């Protein structure tokens, strides 16, 4: 697995610090609110698990799964809900927890769907952001680290469902996806 990695972009310690800072900010902002963290499976699962443990105000969690990529490295533009939330989000202050904001198409679609369900409020928290690649007008309310226009894996992020278990974030060798 390590042989497929060109370079380490974010080591574990940096990820830990970034997540802690986001959790601190969220805890301040959501004091006295009815926070529901909505994790977008599967890429955000590692981030979600770490982030929720840095949040010091009461919150609930739920999961959604959407698919836009198939096994490729580009957004095909087609978003499908594979798993929906378990609950009605009316009355909740929803915070959508995403791994990475790339073209923005996935979150744009998801925000429309969730907004229509009339939550108290809705915001986005993304660990990684590739602002150069944005195709729709969307930005995160909480954003961790800016990423150059390269395909990254690890800390939940996959290529063809692999590498999610790497504890750091690395750049994949081009030879892996041109093979
Ligand atoms: P968007 O709709 O183009 O913003 O795509 C967001 C989704 O694409 C993320 O939730 C990831 O699953 C996936 N994605 C985008 N860039 C990368 C990357 O560099 N590595 C792994 N997955 C990525
Ligand atoms: Mg994802």
- Domain map of the chain by residue range? 14-150
d(CA 1, ligand 2 centre) in Å: 20
Give the pLDDT confidence score for residue 29 in this predicted structure. Answer: 98
Q: Among the atoms of ligand 1, which is closest to the Cα of residue 99?
A: 10
CB atoms within 5 A of ion ligand 2 belong to: 43, 99
What is d(CA 133, CA 152) in angstroms, rounded to the nearest whole number?
Answer: 14
Q: Which CATH architecture has domain 14-150?
A: 3-Layer(aba) Sandwich (3.40)
**If you compute the radius of gyration of the chain from its CA atoms, what whole number of angstroms results?**
16
Which residue out of 50, 93, 99, 102 is catalytically annotated?
A: 102
Q: How far apart are CA 99 and CA 50, in angstroms?
A: 12
Is there an atom of ligand 1 within 6 Å of 99 CB? Answer: yes
The whole-number pLDDT of residue 163 equals: 97
Residues in Cβ contact with 58 at an 8 Å cutoff, skipping those fewer than 6 apart = 35
102 included as an active-site residue:
yes
Mean pLDDT in consecutive groups of 10 residues from the start of the chain, 179 residues: 93 98 98 98 97 98 82 65 95 98 93 96 98 94 95 96 97 87
90-93 long-range contacts (CB < 8 A, ≥24 apart) are: 90/117, 90/118, 90/119, 90/120, 91/34, 91/119, 91/120, 92/34, 92/35, 92/36, 92/60, 92/119, 92/120, 93/30, 93/33, 93/34, 93/35, 93/36, 93/119, 93/120, 93/121, 93/122, 93/123
In sequence order, the 6+-apart residues with CB closer than 8 A to the CB of 80 are 66, 67, 68
Predicted pLDDT of residue 79: 80
- C-alpha distances in Å from residue 37, one per residue of 26, 43, 175, 176: 11, 15, 37, 34
């Amino acid at each position: 697995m390590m042989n497929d990695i060109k370079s380490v972009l974010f080591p574990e310690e940096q990820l830990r610090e970034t997540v802690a800072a986001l959790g601190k900010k969220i805890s301040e902002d959501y004091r006295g609110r009815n926070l529901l963290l909505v994790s977008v499976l599967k890429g955000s699962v590692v981030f979600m698990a770490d982030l929720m443990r840095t949040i010091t105000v009461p919150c609930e969690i739920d999961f959604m799964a959407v698919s836009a990529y198939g096994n490729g490295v580009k957004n095909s533009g087609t978003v499908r809900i594979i798993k929906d939330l378990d609950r009605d989000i009316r009355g909740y202050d929803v915070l959508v927890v995403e791994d990475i904001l790339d073209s923005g198409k996935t979150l744009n679609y998801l925000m429309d769907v969730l907004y229509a369900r009339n939550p108290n409020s809705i915001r986005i928290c993304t660990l990684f952001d590739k602002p150069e690649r944005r195709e729709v007008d969307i930005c995160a309310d909480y954003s961790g680290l800016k990423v150059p226009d390269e395909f990254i894996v690890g800390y939940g992020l996959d290529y063809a469902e692999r590498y999610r278990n790497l504890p750091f974030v690395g750049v994949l060798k081009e030879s892996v996806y041109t093979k």
